[in-house]
Chains A and B, each alone.
Chain A
Amino acid sequence: MSLRLKRREPPAQSETIIALIDVVFFLLVFFMLIGRMDATAPFDVSPPIAASGSDMPAGGATLSVSRLGDLALDGREITRDALGPALSQLLDADPALRLRVNAHKNAELRHVLPLVGDAEALGFRDVVLVVTPAEAP
């Protein structure tokens, strides 16, 4: 006597799974589109709050300044002495490069303003201060 097992047919994909895939795809594309990959500083930086700032387009190099004056260029900590050559190198690669100075709101200006002056002296023509937009009243 032989026992013949009947192979079960795989269940067809129900329509609800298709809807789930649609939603997951939609969310995935949403997060990929609105997200801008950017290196974050290795220390805490809370930019100052301003109501008169304009939208910041993507691109450019980011120079972060901590509350105590520590520096980071595009997410990597850097010393004050090494900053000049690093900025020059970036400028050589792209003369129209925008430099975004992302300083902590409590950073003293003696740590921040000389950086802007140095960048201008190196040849940067587009230097901006990063701010957090003020909330509407």
Chain B
Amino acid sequence: MISLVPMIDVMLILLVFFMVTSTYLNLDMIPAVQQQEDRAGAASGVGETLMIRLGSDGQPVVRGQALNDRDLAALLQQRLRADPLTQVLVLPSGGATTQALISVMDVAARVGAERLRVIRLEARP
């Protein structure tokens, strides 16, 4: 009769290996590059444009006024209610953190802004 004990040993070793070496990460994603068809659709629509500047301190600024997340959400909601096709442009400072940009994108997505673009200024010689 074949002994099962070595097989159990091997399986336990494999189990412990997977449990010890694995790191379980729960990650999501946010699109950073729009698909061609999305871009074509966004370009064809008309609507107001709302520019949000993101300072190096991570504070969103609209028309010179610094806003917190709640005020920004209220403003976006107001603008989207007036014109659902409002395009939201985010111009972040290079010194702002990734979290600050994601937070602004999060606020925009929460209030239903579908036309959102992140723009950046490039230095040219």
Distance A34 CA – B109 CA, assembled complex (angstroms): 29
Write the nearest CB–CB distance from A4 to chain B, whole angstroms: 24
* B interface majority secondary structure: mixed
Digitize A105-137: 1 where CB-to-B-CB distance is under 8 Å, 0 elsewhere: 111111011101101100011111111111000
Indicate if the CB atoms of B29 and A109 lie closer than 8 Å: no
Indicate if the CB atoms of B18 and A131 lie closer than 8 Å: no
Indicate if the CB atoms of B98 and A55 lie closer than 8 Å: no
Digitize A24-59: 1 where CB-to-B-CB distance is under 8 Å, 0 elsewhere: 110110011011000010000001111111111000
**Using a CB-CB cutoff of 8 Å, which residues 95-125 of chain B contact chain A?**
95-99, 101-103, 105-106, 109-110, 118, 120, 122
Digitize B9-49: 1 where CB-to-A-CB distance is under 8 Å, 0 elsewhere: 00110110011001110111111110110000000000000
Interface residues on B, range: 35 or more
Indicate if the CB atoms of B4 and A17 lie closer than 8 Å: yes
Can you list 27 contacts pairing A with B, beta carbon distance less than 8 Å?
A: A10-B1, A13-B4, A17-B4, A48-B97, A48-B98, A48-B101, A48-B102, A50-B30, A52-B109, A56-B29, A101-B32, A105-B102, A110-B94, A110-B95, A113-B92, A113-B118, A117-B120, A117-B122, A119-B33, A125-B33, A125-B35, A126-B33, A127-B33, A128-B29, A129-B98, A129-B102, A131-B29
